[in-house]
Structure 1
Amino acid sequence: MAVVLVKGTGPSAGGSDTVSAAPSDVASGGDKGPATIVVEDVSCDAQGPIFTNFYDGMKASGFYDLDHSVAASLWSPEERRSYDEAKRVTEVVIAQMGPLAKLTPHRVRRELYEQAIAYWQAWIDKLPTYVGSDNAYRAAGTEAEKALVRMCTAIQYKSAQARSFLADPPVAPKDSATVTSETPQLFLADRADKCSEFSASFVAFFDDPVIKQWQKIDYKTGASGWDSNQRQISDQAADIIIELARKLAGLGGDSGNPVMADFTALGAQYLTAYARALPSYTSSDDPLYGAGASLMRAVNEACGAAG
């Protein structure tokens, strides 16, 4: 599956650049509304064993132990065997993700499946002449996959259902990405105008001293177990997280790229809900942050892959 830009999907819509009906076997074909926190999805159960086998296969390949900055021309025979096995494992999961993209009733989850396929395939295609910067393709696909997993974990832990009302009001998309074929395409084949500001905002967030202190708090410890300093840090971090979420969602919304807009809009939903949940935080809330962060990281890595 791939996407084509369709203008004007809201109630005050005008004409469209391209009119294309979604294939009837794509459950999310009619989803044109605002991106919101997902509280149920049949694809969650279906993706579980697929991604578990993917993780296990990648770990067994030794790929995660490699220095991914090393070019293919410098790989040792052992490194090459590891890359070959990682390629095989990735090809297996790609082949199984197309049906998942059709199964989910949620547009943005469909796009996440599609982009994981597209970026992982791009990484595979780069392997014969691989250089370190090509790892961004794999990373973009992996962050899309992580977002899919963490969204389902939030459903499983009930934090999605319990905290969704805390998110910023959802905003209707300006444009819609519609299914048009069986071949997913990179949503950022060229670097978007907003990429530089997006990446700079991302770096600034993780460089913020408050965020650095907040990240040291054990995510397994609930708010009731925090001391006064940890509560103060969490209160400050919440404001910074909300500010970042709104900034990145704004950049995505103004990018003219419907998939980038969807990923950042949904990322902001998860991040703002998480931030407002911090006063009564439990470890079950952690997947909300993970899902939001991975949605934003998928965009950031795709920006890096685009150059």
Structure 2
Amino acid sequence: WKWALGGVALVAVIGVTAGVTVSVVDNDKSDGRGNSAPTGATQPSGDSTSDIASANDTGPVAIITEDPTCAAQDPILQTLANKHRNAGWDKRDAAKPASEWTPAVRAQFEEAGKATRAAADQMVPLAKLTPHRVMRELYEQFIVYARAYADSIPTYTAPDDNLALMSIGTSSAISYICGAIGNGSAAARSPLVPPLSAPVRVAPVGDPADPQRFLDKPNPVCGDWRAAMDQFGRDIVEWNKTDPAIPASQWTPEVKALNESIAPVMSEYASRLQELGERSGNPVLRDFADLAALYRRAYVAAIPTYLPADHDLTTASTRSAGLVGTACDAVDS
């Protein structure tokens, strides 16, 4: 099961090799990024004693229509991408362990590791600034997995590449959430998506400067999560061949029929992810599941009046779901 990171401007720049495997292929050809001010999901009440803006966000995950961190994350990730590319890390052989590296390859990985760690450190203030709990959790997971990958380089083995894929997945989810903010699709489609119920519990607020992995041991839903993603990937093969740059007003009858037929499949997939998130017993995993489900439903709601900007919604969903699968791989490997 794979995510198609190739063809997406941000992810391609971040330096994923053409052969890197990631989760479900999802027609990812959009490239928007948002530069916005806060509101969106559940607004925190603003605990003046805390420097974490989302500390009081205990409500349901929702489509994020504004976030003050979107402008800041973009240059951080662009710089990281450029450094990875300049080091040649985007063409790395992820299967070869450090014990088999030439001096040139070792230098390549070490340079990429330094850039990755620097980006993680720069994300800490953004994790504190965002008013949305789920965005903070995405930033925190980028930070912890990026640092873990950098730490793995001296004794790197193939399974450690899952750490790199996690940093890519989380940063990509952030980017496409911000893309949907910046191009207006999040605000346009969020009123069409029924709100979720507030969770019974949320993960305790920790220190964004020293976050912990949300999966540090195998979770019972990992197998079912992979199976759901595999099935969804098979279900959308034909839809995946359509051009996301063409608006609904210009669809042929065949493309229109295909999109209408895929809508219930996507809705069922969203419900399945939500159910697995709830069953996981892991509040961060549940938040990521809810995030993936909501953005998938937002795309479904957009289908009758689809515009190219709406593709950031489905890509944000794919990245959010995919990072859970990669986190499962990281603990299982």
- Pairwise CA RMSD: 1.5
Question: How far, CA to CA, are the matches of 2:300 and 2:103 in structure 1?
Answer: 47
- TM-score, normalising length: structure 2: 0.82
Contact 2:110 2:153 in 1 (8 A): no
More off after superposition, 265-274 vs 52-61 = 52-61
Establish whether residue 214 from structure 1 lines up as the match of residue 224 from structure 2. Answer: no
Q: Mean Cα displacement is larger for which, 262-271 or 74-83?
A: 74-83
1:1-307 to structure 2, matched below 5 A, reads 24-181=50-207, 182-208=209-235, 211-307=236-332
Question: SS of the residue aligned with 2:199?
Answer: coil
Task: Check conservation: 1:23, 1:29, Cα contact below 8 A.
Answer: no
1:26 and 1:103 in contact (8 A); partners too: yes
Cα deviation, residue 23, structure 1: 6.2
Change (3 A) 1:44 1:229: same
Counterpart amino acid of residue 147 in structure 2: Q
Identity across matched positions, percent = 38
- Provide the C-alpha distance between the structure 2 equivalents of 1:261 and 1:301, rounded to a whole number of angstroms: 15
Give the CA deviation at 1:22. Answer: 10
Query: C-alpha distance in 1, partners of 2:155/2:227?
Result: 29
TM-score normalised by L of structure 1? 0.89
Q: What is the CA deviation profile of residues 57-104 of structure 1, one whole-angstrom value per residue up to 9, with x for unaligned ones?
A: 112111111121222222233222211111011011011011000000
Which residues of structure 1 form unaligned runs of 5+? 1-20
Displacement of 1:48: 1.9
Distance in 1 separating the partners of 2:203 and 2:280: 14
- The count of aligned residue pairs is 285
- For the residues of structure 2 that align with 1:296 and 1:263, how far apart are their CA atoms? 7
Letter matched to residue 203 of structure 1: D
Task: Report the CA distance between 1:31 and its aligned residue.
Answer: 0.4
Matched-pair contact (CA < 8 Å) for 1:115–1:141: yes
Corresponding letter in the other structure for 1:42: P
The answer to whether the 8 A contact 1:120-1:141 is kept is: yes
Structure 1 moving runs of 4+ over 3 Å: none
Question: 2-side partners of 1:167 and 1:76: how far apart?
Answer: 52
Secondary structure class of the residue paired with 2:204: strand
Separation in 1 of the partners of 2:83 and 2:281? 37
Cα contact 1:23–1:180 (8 A) shared by 2: no
SS at match of 2:241: coil
**One-letter amino acid matched to 2:54:** S
CA contact (8 A) 1:22 1:180 kept: no
